[in-house]
Structure 1
Amino acid sequence: KCRDPCPGSCGIYATCNTVKHVPQCVCQNGYTGDPFSGCSLIQQIPTEGPKMPCNPSPCGANAICKERNGAGSCSCLPEYFGDPYTGCRPECVTNSDCDRSKSCMNNKCRDPCPGVCGLNAECRVINHSPSCYCPVGYTGDPTLSCYIQPLLDPEPPSNPCVPSPCGPYSQCRPVNNHAVCSCQTDYIGTPPACRPECMVSSECPQDKACVRKKCIDPCPGTCGSNGRCQVVNHSPICSCPPGYNGDPFVRCFKEQPPPADVPTNPCVPSPCGPNSVCREIGNTPACSCLDSYIGRPPNCRPECTINAECPGNLACSKERCKDPCPGSCGIYASCITINHSPQCNCEPGYTGDPFAGCSLIPQVVPTEGPKMPCNPSPCGANAICKERNGAGSCMCLPEYFGDPYTGCRPEC
């Protein structure tokens, strides 16, 4: 059959292309050696010293530089957007960057209501700030708890803290029938203008970042083992200290001395060509053809690749010229090779399908009995005769083609 000769022809890390029925093997990019036996990775020659494309950093504000394959690449910090080479920005810096129904919290536009109002209270956002109200039929401090307003109970003593005059993020305490206002824990300012320590990092010192509305050092837990962290414009910048290299976000390794010179191998890459083997003798390459290949390096080749390269009584099988007859014919059949193809015929005194098996012709007394249109067979070579309604019909054997009355042939 006509088949792709590539499978199994090339070594590891090699690619194969078929040119004029012959497989051609080539090492993949970054690999060298004999592609027919196996390619190996090209060893990188150490340079005078590793470049540090990220020191100094080419990145803009709120961007980090990572080294990949000797080149620096800038990318925005998580939850920052824009061009990392000119500067990245958060989703928002101040409340005015958000819709009037949202507040800028941790550089993101969010609903400021969750967790602000008390039980049964309703929250409305007015000009970026949350305001708490007790719904109709309820009364109380909306920042603490609203309860159902009694209908028949006598009016309780007035509470100067209901409703609260203190504003958002504050707490009210009645003292001598007067409201005393103070900011809630972790909030700064003076009521009614209480606010968190920060909403965006720009409200913190340069070496701090706004995390959970507080100005803290963003470095702890950011860099990898042996990494060095510096805060630049509120953002943590990781780098490996002098004498170390690696990914500062994962781990920095101490630099190793350059490896000693390795003696060269005259057989790497192989000068012998395809289908050959190289042996080092006295620091000199000695080339020879692989087993089952003929010729002289660098022109080693298989004995054959197609039938036409073999004598007419042989066929090309697994790149060797061999007799195709063994195993081709059935029992009591003889085989001859014609034009590289096995031809099977029943031996004298036998009949049947010579490719499946012949059987002895039964001796019968001539009578005027029924005719046997298939004896003798009217069919050509590689065809069988089958009787249908007293008439003979010829057809080619499986995997043979042509006119069954003159002779069938294999595919190739």
Structure 2
Amino acid sequence: MQLSALVLAALVCGSATGQRALPLSSFQYPSAPLLPIAPLYEFAPRVSLPPISRSTTTAAARPPSPVGESNYIGSSDPCTPSPCGPNTLCEVNSQHIALCRCQPNFVPDQHTIRGCKPQCLSDRDCPDDYACTATKCVRLCSLNECGIDAICKAYRHKAECSCPPGYLGNPAIYCAKPERDPTPAYVDPCTPNPCGANAQCTSNGAQAVCSCLQRHAGNPLEACVRQECAVHSDCSAQQVCRSNRCIDPCSIPNICGTNTDCTARDRQPVCSCRSGYVGDPFTSCRRFDPQELCRPSPCGRNTNCQVQGERAVCTCLPNYVGDPLTGCRPECERDSHCPANFACQNNRCVNPCQNGVCGDGALCNVRNGVAVCTCPEFYLGNPYTRCYPECTTHEECPAHQACFKLRCIDPCVGACGSGAECRVELHKPICSCPKGFTGHPFESCRPFDRSELCRPNPCGSNADCTPGHDRDGNDRPVCTCPRGYVGNPLQACIRGECETDRECRSNEACYEYKCQSTCHVAGRPVCGRSADCTMRNHVPVCTCPTGFDGNPLISCSPHPRSRYAIGRT
């Protein structure tokens, strides 16, 4: 039976010489312009499974039989044979019933009759603050991973140690507060106060200095007496100190003349005539007649003098210009006295273009004193009525034209390079090289050589480049890894571990250019259900376990005469 299974396994598995590439005619490539692509293969990467151990109470695992059935007549041990699954321990309780328990660091795989599985195989199987230790998830920071007085935080399955704020040291060993140098106690010479009444004490090192408080005078060691002022700065901002009293400087008798007002500024009396009065404020002021401002006139020739408020205002006569304080003159007597774009009218230079001489949107220029109307460049219309642009946006032109300098024109004129084709889409010129040509369509186009697709080689290191086509028939570079190499040909190809089975051990085969067991291909077992797989001479051999019959390539089932007992016999 083993020889026939070996022959059948060889027929099913075929030659395990590595990956088989699809023919170039079946490749499908993206439609991106001139980008290298990788071919597809008929295999999927193999997923390796972790090894498991069988129950400790039996040498060969067998599926359990229904409870109550047994062909071991007279057996007094319900754990022989074991009804438990892999990675379990079978125990007999006081009622002579078999109990299935998981081995240390294992958890039930749904139930212990089915078997037990490791709690974890890597840190990724555990929560973020746990780590996988001996197939068991262990909480970090619970085993004192950090030093004395250090803070431990778990992050991405690792314990991170740090010292608390204000502590120094190696957090993996210990953290401690830095020691401070003791400072001598300070003795205040002003405690208790050695000064007299209304005096203040100031320390100068270890010596006490006594002084009278502000606005006080006397012996600070005995007593100080309060005074209203001693200097002007002891008074408010607009008062002065006289005979140790603060007074208003305007209260001094006869400080100003009659009909005057007095205001204190910077502790000085400021005298001024009252409103409506003029004169010398330090002697006497009289009532003011506003017309006196223009008698005599303070203005120049050809001017008017007018009293506004309490001041004289000088202005030039109509159609006169100049400085009214020195004299005014006519602005012009002829056109030559005016700027080039002005004309002389009633002794004034005026702009002939004012008051809407020209039409809407028109330009006005003065030539020999006459207004000349013209439309701006690229505008249409009559300058004396209305000027307007043919367009201001592309949407105002037909779809095959574009708005350029306010005119609708063909945008393809002079837009593309030599030998290029131009078409207009939504008012925009689209330049492209004709079929069979290449180059920059905005500069020039030349005949295309397919060998240029691989010069320079756009593929990854150690990869081969071959000119090809995409699904639309467009030329594209095709990147492939040479025989014996694996990887992404768009990035890099790496030499494989093997090319033939002869380069591997007898219990391995060269699959995907790597020496490995081929009992599982593309993540699926090559043998049937409940069958055992063994690598012999680079070929997977499928056999049914002892006590099982059937086709090992399809399914193995227990021998009809075999029975298993679970529970009390």
TM-score bracket, shorter-length normalisation: 0.3 to 0.5
Select the structure of larger CA radius of gyration: 2
Give the TM-score normalised by the residue count of structure 2: 0.26
Give the TM-score normalised by the residue count of structure 1: 0.34
The structure with more strand, counted as a fraction of residues: 1
The structure with more helix, counted as a fraction of residues: 2
Answer 1 or 2: higher relative contact order, Cα 8 Å, separation at least 6.
2
